[in-house]
Amino acid sequence: MTSLHNALRRRIPHYLLSACVACLATTIGVVVWELAGDESFLTGSAPWLHIRHAHGFSYAQMPSLQNKTAVVTGASSGLGLAVARGLADAGCTVITTARTFDKCAKTTKTVGSGTCVAMELLELKSVYRAARVVKEMAPSGIDFLVLNAGIMMPPLTISGDGLEAQFQTNHLGHFVLTNELLPLLNEGARVVSVSSVAHRFSSQDELWTAEKLNDRQTYNKLRWYGWSKLGAV
């Protein structure tokens, strides 16, 4: 399988291969959607790509999470929203994050309970501020920390901190948040960093310096996205 993958990468431009994979996933998703006959079966930013009850799982199977506290980043839509709602329905106290105060208000309304903290991962000062607020909101500690927020394949963008946007949003921002919240993690707490099969598309060069990350000449949004998700593996 690996040799086939390498052969395809040599003969087919990476962007064309990615487009084919996306089309195939979309087609399969649409077929599943039609067979399910129930719109609630699907959720996510791209609904046909996110099957809510994969492998026969349903929220009804979740145990009671009373007296537990969870923090879910990027909960205004997609997987983060689905996770936050599932935890809240199980009785968990849920603290979500979203990029703006307006998105926070909508997130809290959709989840139906809990609180939301505005946090912009592209600004590390916002991450530190959000961590301080979360500490005040979770006096009994944190049982679940779900690092879900992320961006995917934008044009080259440099954050206010001077780093390529995908790397800072998908990896560095969450790294800082986790380090700030480590003292709050209760015994047996779980930290879930949402990864992606796209880490396989990461750059073959090691992007260990800001100069390489921010190089406009060599920037490839798919490979840089893969590199940012490799940090979650």
Residues designated catalytic = 219
CB atoms within 10 A of CB 76: 25
Q: How far apart are CA 233 and CA 145, in angstroms?
A: 16
Q: Check if the beta carbon of residue 152 is closer than 8 Å to that of residue 106.
A: no
For 54, 139, 192, the CA distances from 142, given in Å and listed in that order, are 27, 9, 13
Contacts by residues 83-89 (CB-CB < 8 Å, ≥ 24 positions apart):
83/146, 83/148, 84/111, 84/114, 85/110, 85/111, 85/112, 86/59, 86/62, 87/144, 88/112, 88/113, 88/114, 89/59, 89/62
Q: Check if the beta carbon of residue 122 is closer than 8 Å to that of residue 165.
A: yes
- Residue type (1 letter), 4: L
First to last CA, the chain: 20
Q: How far apart are CA 169 and CA 176, in angstroms?
A: 11
Burial of 101 (0-12, 13-18, 19+ CB in 10 A): exposed
CB atoms within 10 A of CB 60: 8
